[in-house]
Amino acid sequence: MSIFSSLWNGPAPGAAVEITSGRVSAATLEWRGDQAVVAAHASEPLPEGALTPALAALNTHDRAAVGAVLGRVLDRIGRPKRVGLVIPDVVAKVSLVRFEQVPSRAQDLDQLLRWQVRKSAPFPIEEAQIAYVPGMRVPEGQEFIVSLARRAVVEEYESLCADAGAHAGVVDLTTFNVVNAVLASGPPPAADWLLVNVAADYASIALMRGSDLVFFRNRGADADGTLADLVHQTAMYYEDRLGGAGFARVMLAGASASSARLAGDLEQVRRSLEDRLTLPVDTVDPRAAAAIADRITASPGLLDTLAPLVGLLLRDRQGATV
């Protein structure tokens, strides 16, 4: 399974779908020997306002429009009956929870994790869908990466797929699967590395120690401050609280999908990171994990779109495991 627990667990499917506020995208893989290849891909924009990702509120405002776009996208990749579903980071709250002693029974661990994250949930914990996976082993005990979402919101996205004739056997978050795409591309850096993933309406930052997540933060586009401020604050936290010794690699994903307003901010973030860390900022390229068929033009926008889809489809491969 992936280094992160999906909101609805299951083995990696043969097709992946991502639903964002701006578009629906999908891809399938095929294998040519040991090489994964993107066999089919489709993407189509959504009408403005048809879907607005949110943690605790209704996400779908024009179900018919979203369903029609999803149906056409699925048609173009062969109408798969089972898909993995990638949904926006902002529909879930991600926490790192540490225990000195881990309960031996899964049921006890589940209850303890629910108890730990209940205060941060903006809705009753009884309405939550919680998934978790072991994170780093530390001297103080064991960390767990916990994803908390409102069950009704996850079911919104699942039912969109069901109405289009596709069962969503796996549901996971965008940035988690961008990370998986990086990890499926080869051995992770031995030292710490940083990923900044940007969408049209949010940005997420993941600090990684090899293949382990050590910090995760998400910021909506309507939040105070700039993305550059967020990255700077995260870098300071990394140095002051996480004992950071410096990054071996810095990666940026999703830049082509950002709004015009955010594009300038992204360029500022890139320059600031390169100046501060004296490292080049690399763009996530899923072709290192899955080749793209010759007939598909690999534009920057396509690479950004494919990254989380490829990450989900390769989540069971050795490069994307703990």
Q: What percent of the chain lies above the pLDDT cut of 90? A: 64
Residue 12 has pLDDT above 70, yes or no: no
Structure tokens at 14: 């043969």
Residue 189 has pLDDT above 90, yes or no: no
Amino acid at 273: L
**d(Cα 235, Cα 237) in Å, to the nearest integer?**
5
Average pLDDT, the chain: 87
DSSP per-residue letters across 174-208: HHHHHHHHHHHTSPPPSSEEEEEEE-SSEEEEEEE
The model's confidence at residue 284, banded by pLDDT at 50, 70 and 90, is: very high
Instruction: Describe the strand order of the beta sheet including 15-19 as a list of residue ranges.
Output: 167-173, 82-87, 15-19, 23-32, 35-45, 291-292
> Which fold does the domain 1-174 belong to in CATH?
Nucleotidyltransferase; domain 5 (3.30.420)
CA 298 to chain CA centroid, Å, is 21
Q: What is the CA radius of gyration of the chain?
A: 19
Comparing 26-40, 107-121, 263-277, the range with the smallest average pLDDT is 263-277
* Residue range 150-165, pLDDT digits in tens: 999 999 999 999 999 9
Closest CA to 226 of 198, 206, 190: 198
User: Which is more confident, 123 or 221?
Assistant: 123
**d(Cα 301, Cα 269) in Å, to the nearest integer?**
19
Which pTM was predicted?
0.91
**d(Cα 21, Cα 23) in Å, to the nearest integer?**
6
pLDDT for the residue numbered 186: 87
pLDDT for the residue numbered 2: 40
Where are the strands (E) in the chain, listed by range?
15-19, 23-32, 35-45, 82-87, 92-99, 128-138, 141-150, 167-173, 192-198, 202-209, 212-220, 247-253, 281-283, 291-292
pLDDT for the residue numbered 277: 74
Comparing 61-65, 139-143, 150-154, the range with the smallest average pLDDT is 139-143
DSSP per-residue letters across 216-255: EEEEETTSSS-HHHHHHHHHHHHHHHS----EEEEEEE-G
Nearest-5° angle of CA 54, CA 303, CA 178? 50
* Residue range 192-218, pLDDT digits in tens: 999 999 998 899 999 999 999 999 999
The model's confidence at residue 42, banded by pLDDT at 50, 70 and 90, is: very high
The model's confidence at residue 222, banded by pLDDT at 50, 70 and 90, is: confident
Domain-wise residue ranges, the chain: 1-174
Residue 51 has pLDDT above 60, yes or no: yes
User: Which is more confident, 2 or 292?
Assistant: 292
The model's confidence at residue 267, banded by pLDDT at 50, 70 and 90, is: confident
pLDDT for the residue numbered 139: 85
The model's confidence at residue 296, banded by pLDDT at 50, 70 and 90, is: low
206 contacts 94 by C-beta, under 8 angstroms: no
Amino acid at 154: V
Place of tokens 């999906």: 6
